[in-house]
Amino acid sequence: MKENVWKKYTNEDLNRLNDLCDDYRKFLSDNKIEREVAKFSIDLAEEHGFVSLDEYINSYKSLQPGDKVYVNNRNKSIALFIIGDEDITNGLNILGAHIDSPRLDLKANPLYEESEFAYLDTHYYGGIKKYQWLALPLALHGVVVKKNGDTIIVNVGEDESDPVVGITDLLPHLGKEQLKKEASEFIEGEKLDVLVGSMPLKGEEKDAVQKNILSILKNKYNIEEDDFLSAEIEIVPAGKARDFGLDRSMVMAYGQDDKVCAYTSLRAFLDVERCRKTICCILVDKEEIGSMGATGMQSSFFENAIEEICDILGHHERNAVGRCLTNSYMLSSDVNAAYDPLYADVMDKRNSSYFNNGVVFCKYTGSRGKSGSNDANAEYVAKLRNIMDNNNVYFQISELGKVDAGGGGTIAYILANRNVNVIDCGVGVLSMHAPWEVTSKSDIYEAYKCYLAFLKDA
């Protein structure tokens, strides 16, 4: 175990760390779903001089070193590029994080009434412990798209004047049989229904509570019941990110897997003005369910973007994108399981990531004998060690947990399958995939320093 990095910080380091983490907490509070993160990122990028790649494509404008462009993929994943001085086929330096998080999604026909309660029916998204979502204040985030194409933004439960919703739990006085169940069976997925109302609409006899909710939705948002058919509404914990610990050394918030890496990657990327190699930051959707779909990393949107850039730069040869990717380096910016002494039995103490020991490199993830993992080569790991040491970045190298305890994956293997040099690199997290996760401020700061050093020197 390395020395706690708080002991090494100067007052200047502490000021920078606190400024970064203050901004990070606000980001987490305001941007809980992938659409919100994508919009925030594009808005911030445009403030830093980025323009849509479509402007170059449509106007036949040439790209020059220092130009800053982005690709918006269906408002749920983005790729940003700063054109470098070197030929793009010499490779990119890539930061890649995901901006989706475990949550509950509304079904297509969610609203129903039972015993004069109105509920929204859900389907959980990603790996969750279902029992953790009971008896919490929850909020609704997302969009409803009308048949005419109008998009209505939904955000209920975050403002102090907003109501919240939630999922009820069984009282312990009647929970004898429930408490005998294994944790995975404590509550069924079909019972994760969100209570949203109990007041009947005056003058109605049948389904009067449901009709009252529909009346509220109609008056506030101009939403009809059948508009749920073309809606994407996510149920997430309500409330702001907070300092955690009496010493304020940590951050507690929803969705830090993987927004802690997305935010630090984006901030580091936007702090680069000029670069030797072309650099890229990709923020993608759907990682928590296998990176499938048009907005996930397994789609072709990223390679399509590189192909467009290569074409504008005059590389029309068939294998230009392949040469670019083969010569690229990437940090798959994703979180790791931090060592928790309360659950030491599933941790390999010598190979765990620790709070306040710096950013975490994970050479391989996967499970059952590294199944499904990218396994970074030794030459690349050595290169990164050198970059980190030269830039005074505190880092550690770890695994996710004991070999037979379980496992997990990231987007790393997807880029590795395209012949990119890639390794996972991120922040250790306590209570990962719980409604409220905890990270160390010092590790957040070191992640930012790591990503900045990588972009400049890889």
Q: Quick one: 425 and 276 in the same domain?
A: yes
Q: Calculate the dihedral angle through the C-alpha atoms of 69, 74, 77, 82, rounding to the nearest 10 degrees.
A: -10
Q: Quick one: 217 and 320 in the same domain?
A: no
* Predicted pLDDT of residue 53: 97
- The partner residues of 140 in beta bridges, in order of sequence, read 156, 235
- pLDDT by residue (tens digit) across 196-253? 999 999 999 899 999 999 999 999 889 999 999 999 999 999 999 999 999 999 999 9
Residue 243 falls inside a structural domain: no
Answer for the pair 112, 416: CB distance below 8 angstroms, yes or no: no
Residue 245 falls inside a structural domain: no
Q: What share of the chain in percent tops pLDDT 70?
A: 99
Tell me the C-alpha distance between 4 and 8, whole Å. 8
Domain count for the chain, please give it.
2
0.85 exceeded by pTM = yes
Residue 295 falls inside a structural domain: yes
Whether the predicted pLDDT of 107 surpasses 90? yes
Q: Quick one: 304 and 447 in the same domain?
A: yes
Q: Quick one: 265 and 342 in the same domain?
A: yes
Q: Quick one: 405 and 388 in the same domain?
A: yes
Answer for the pair 229, 108: CB distance below 8 angstroms, yes or no: yes
* Predicted pLDDT of residue 322: 95
| Residue 232: domain span | 103-237
207, 237, 267 - which closes a domain: 237
| CATH code of 137's domain | 2.30.250.10
* Predicted pLDDT of residue 205: 86
Q: Quick one: 87 and 113 in the same domain?
A: no
Question: Which residues are within 8 A (CB) of 188 and not within 5 positions of it... i.e. 6 or more apart?
Answer: 130
* Predicted pLDDT of residue 1: 67
| CATH code of 84's domain | 3.40.630.10
- pLDDT by residue (tens digit) across 173-186? 998 998 989 988 89
Tell me the C-alpha distance between 322 and 307, whole Å. 9
Question: Which residues are within 8 A (CB) of 313 and not within 5 positions of it... i.e. 6 or more apart?
Answer: 62, 63, 83, 88
Q: How far is CA 206 from CA 110, 114, 115, 195, 211, in A?
A: 18, 11, 11, 18, 9
Average pLDDT of the residues in 267-293: 95
Q: Quick one: 20 and 126 in the same domain?
A: no
- pLDDT by residue (tens digit) across 399-410? 877 776 777 778
Residue 248 falls inside a structural domain: no
Residue 242 falls inside a structural domain: no
Nearest to 67 by CA among 49, 54, 55, 79: 49
Tell me the C-alpha distance between 409 and 413, whole Å. 8
Tell me the C-alpha distance between 220 and 181, whole Å. 42
> What is the arrangement of strands in the sheet containing 359-362, beginning at the earlier edge strand?
51-52, 68-73, 77-82, 278-284, 92-98, 329-332, 421-426, 359-362, 395-397
Q: Quick one: 60 and 116 in the same domain?
A: no
* Predicted pLDDT of residue 106: 97
Q: Quick one: 232 and 345 in the same domain?
A: no
Q: Quick one: 201 and 339 in the same domain?
A: no
Residue 259 falls inside a structural domain: yes
* Predicted pLDDT of residue 39: 98
Residue 174 falls inside a structural domain: yes
**Token pair of 193, please?**
């229904």
Where does the pLDDT of residue 2 fall: very low under 50, low under 70, confident under 90, or very high at 90 and above? confident
Q: Quick one: 375 and 266 in the same domain?
A: yes
- pLDDT by residue (tens digit) across 321-371? 999 999 999 999 999 999 999 999 988 889 899 999 999 999 888 777 787
202, 237, 272 - which closes a domain: 237
237, 271, 291 - which closes a domain: 237
Q: Quick one: 176 and 271 in the same domain?
A: no
Answer for the pair 428, 440: CB distance below 8 angstroms, yes or no: yes
Residue 94 falls inside a structural domain: yes
- pLDDT by residue (tens digit) across 31-89? 999 999 999 999 999 999 999 999 999 999 999 999 999 999 999 999 999 999 999 99
